[in-house]
Amino acid sequence: MKIDVLTLFPGMFAGPLDESIVQRARSSGVLDLRVHNLRDYTEDRHKTVDDRPFGGGPGMLLKPEPLFKAVQALAGQGTRVILLSPAGRLFSQGIARELAREEHLLFICGSYEGVDERARASLVHDELSIGDYVLTNGNLPAMVIIDAVTRLLPGVLGDESSSADESFSDGLLEYPHYTRPADFQGMKVPEVLLSGHHEAIAKWRLEQAKRRTAERRPDLLENKNQAG
Ligand code: 4HQ
């Protein structure tokens, strides 16, 4: 998969996407990730990317010209252009699965108050939000989505940690996990997990996952068939 990112702060992406599983996906060639500075697509002497809103009001907006130029340069036929915005569809595991099937994603990370409406309407296929709170820009949301999508790409996760166990408990919260020692300061690991009885273990885990979900996130049980 190819992912391009358009941002005013390319430095924010060094670190989170240079470590761990995402880095492995990149070195193995499964993910081709490129971060671009929107300022490189300006044509004026001052490299202006933002301006004040017509009609007044607080903050600044990303100007249309650099956005049009950048998207024209970076997007092709098979590109899905995504804008990060609190006004977007709420990102979910289902959307992560959808995006993992695309060949090319282009993320536009807005800053300040957002982007000029003409750029949004003409260039953007999909607006996504990572939650109902206000961040300083779209960089962290883009990184969150890239992370969630990358781990779904074929060959990125090993067999052990992969989707098999995830689909078994699809839409449920995780069951409780234990590692050694079997007795830590008198706190014991549930007997069934030490039994070697795989069927009983699977049954116990599913029950625990359902109980936790009912207690903590009953909304997940109600939406189970729609959301995924
Ligand atoms: N912002 N989910 C404002 C977000 C956000 C979110 C990104 C802040 C866009 C202009 N994006 N800028 N929450 O709060 O995606």
DSSP codes of every residue in 134-195: --SBSHHHHHHHHHHHHTTSTTSS-TTTSHHHHHHTTTSPPPP---S-SEETTEEPPHHHHS
How far does the centroid of ligand 1 lie from the alpha carbon of residue 142, in Å?
10
Residue among 49, 85, 139, 140 to mutate when testing ligand 1 (max atoms within 8 A of CB): 85
Q: The whole model's pTM is what?
A: 0.94
**Residue 128 φ then ψ, to 5°:** -125, 145
Residue with tokens 């009953």: 218
pLDDT at residue number 206: 97
Which one has a higher pLDDT value, 163 or 125? 125
CB-ligand 1 contact for 84 (6 Å cutoff): yes
Instruction: Tell me the pLDDT of the chain averaged across its residues.
Output: 94
Pairwise CA distance, residues 115 & 5, whole Å:
15
- Does 160 score more than 60 pLDDT? no
Tokens 């009609």, residue located: 55
Q: Which of 38, 111, 134 to mutate to test the pocket of ligand 1 (most atoms within 8 A of CB)?
A: 134
Residue 1 CA, chain-centre distance (Å), reads 14
Q: Which pLDDT value is given to residue 170?
A: 80
Chain segment 181-191, per-residue pLDDT in tens: 999 999 999 99
Work out the average pLDDT over 27-52: 98
- With a 6 Å cutoff on the Cβ, whether 66 touches ligand 1 is no
- Quickly state the pLDDT bin for 162 (edges 50, 70, 90): low
Find out whether 200 and 208 touch, Cβ atoms under 8 Å: no
Q: Is the pLDDT of residue 131 over 90?
A: yes
